[in-house]
């Protein structure tokens, strides 16, 4: 077996190696990561969480996801867009989230901006950058999975041009992976193809 290939889990089913690297990852890997996510609020949540993850491991965010959801009113754009200075100060001391001033400010600014968009506009914009799956080779190992693609670079530029903050090409690609715009489960993985 080559390093980075799908490996058997405790149940004998093959998974991406990262999906077995922590107990919290198994359900996320099997049931969420790479599955299509639609809806402006749902995509806003993923966009925010990927931004908060920047510079940290995903497990740190995953373990605090419920804290983030409580702190940001379930990531309802209309609700977060109304947050003011008192909410900002509350978030800066909330131990249930990552208390990074720049990331909190970006989340609040992005919500205010997205509240001015038409319903479905964020969903449509993000999904317009999904590459043709027939043109993407199936990764055999984790090493074959890119961190940035032409599509993620273009998505990042499009979101920034529209005024969104804290969304570089790497964060955009992580969003694409998490929300099913691409399927980066390695060959043989039980979750490949949304199984």
CB count within 10 Å of CB 26 equals 16
Angular region, 193: left φ>0, alpha ψ -120 to 50, beta rest: left
51-56: average pLDDT:
95
Residue 195 has pLDDT above 70, yes or no: no
For 87-117, write each residue's pLDDT tens digit: 999 999 999 999 999 999 999 999 999 999 9
Cα–Cα dist 95/131, whole Å: 38
Which residues are known to be catalytic?
28, 50, 58
Smallest CA-to-CA distance from 51 within 115, 97, 117, 112 is with 97
Predicted confidence at residue 108, as pLDDT, reads 98
Whole-structure pTM value: 0.95
- Cα(67)–Cα(162) distance, integer angstroms: 29
Q: Is the pLDDT of residue 179 over 90?
A: yes
Q: Is the pLDDT score of 131 beyond 60?
A: yes
């Amino acid at each position: 077996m080559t390093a980075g290939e799908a490996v058997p889990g405790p149940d004998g089913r093959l998974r991406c190696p990262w999906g077995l690297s922590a107990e919290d990852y198994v359900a996320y890997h099997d049931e969420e990561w790479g599955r299509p996510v639609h809806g402006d609020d749902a995509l806003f949540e993923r966009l925010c969480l990927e931004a908060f993850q920047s510079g940290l491991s995903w497990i740190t965010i995953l373990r605090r996801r419920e804290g983030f959801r409580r702190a940001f009113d379930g990531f309802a754009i209309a609700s977060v867009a109304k947050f003011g200075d008192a909410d900002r100060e509350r978030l800066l001391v909330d131990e249930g989230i990552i208390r990074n001033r720049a990331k909190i400010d970006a989340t609040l600014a992005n919500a205010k901006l997205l509240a001015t968009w038409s319903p479905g506009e964020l969903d449509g914009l993000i999904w317009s950058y999904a590459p043709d799956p027939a043109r993407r080779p199936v990764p055999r190992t984790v090493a074959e999975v890119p961190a940035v693609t032409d599509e993620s670079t273009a998505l990042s530029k499009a979101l920034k041009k529209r005024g969104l903050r804290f969304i570089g090409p790497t964060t955009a690609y992580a969003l694409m992976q998490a929300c099913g715009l691409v399927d980066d489960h390695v060959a043989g993985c039980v979750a490949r193809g949304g199984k």
